[in-house]
Amino acid sequence: QPQAQCAPMPLPALGTQRIIQGNGTNVGTVISLQCPAKHKLIGSELMCVMGTNNTHWVGETYCKPLSSYGDYGFRVAVLASIVSSAIIFFMSMAFITCCLIDCIKEDKRKKQERESDVWQWEEQAQHQEHNRSHYSHKGRNNNNNTQEKVLSLWDTGNPHICDNMQACR
């Protein structure tokens, strides 16, 4: 008894037929389709089956050209990710720059405060020395040769005055 067969499958307009199982026409034969580049496979496989009185192919498969819009969505997504990455990069650089500027300003402010404190300290020291000199010699017969010298913080000629002060260093 001969085995039942389906009519031979015509070659597709696009793509290549591949026999997965069987001889191409026997019942149980499975045929798949491979599409060329820039084409999409519609369906999956064709199979030759035995019906109640005859054989026939079950399934539908063909290749459909991809529309130019199918590629468009991917391009938009890539472009959006590049733009967002650039925005994130520039925002990060702006943040880092602002932080560095703030650090520099803070350092300058602290340096000015230190310098201001040193000047005030020196002024107070000179004022106290002047007052001490003025009041301690009141009513005495002062000799210019014995008058005490008022020393400045910036006087590096006398190393002993700089021992306990940072301003000299």
As a whole number, mean pLDDT of residues 64-90 equals 85
**pLDDT beyond 80 at 155:** no
Sequence-separated (6 or more) residues with CB below 8 Å from residue 64:
39, 40, 42
Q: Check: CB of residue 43 under 8 Å from CB of residue 62.
A: yes
* Model confidence pLDDT, tens digit, residues 91-139: 999 999 999 999 999 999 988 888 887 777 777 777 777 666 555 555 5
Instruction: Supply φ then ψ for residue 74, to 5 degrees.
Output: -65, -45
pLDDT at residue number 124:
79
Instruction: Supply φ then ψ for residue 122, to 5 degrees.
Output: -65, -40
* Model confidence pLDDT, tens digit, residues 16-72: 999 999 998 999 999 999 999 888 999 989 999 998 889 999 998 999 988 766 567
Distance between CA atoms of residues 155 and 161, nearest Å: 8
Using DSSP's 3-state secondary structure scheme, residue 138 falls into: coil
pLDDT at residue number 136:
55
Indicate the residue type of 167.
Answer: A
As a whole number, mean pLDDT of residues 69-96 equals 87
| Most confidently modeled range among 66-75, 134-143, 160-169 | 66-75
Q: Check: CB of residue 4 under 8 Å from CB of residue 27.
A: yes
What does the block give as tokens for 49? 């089956």
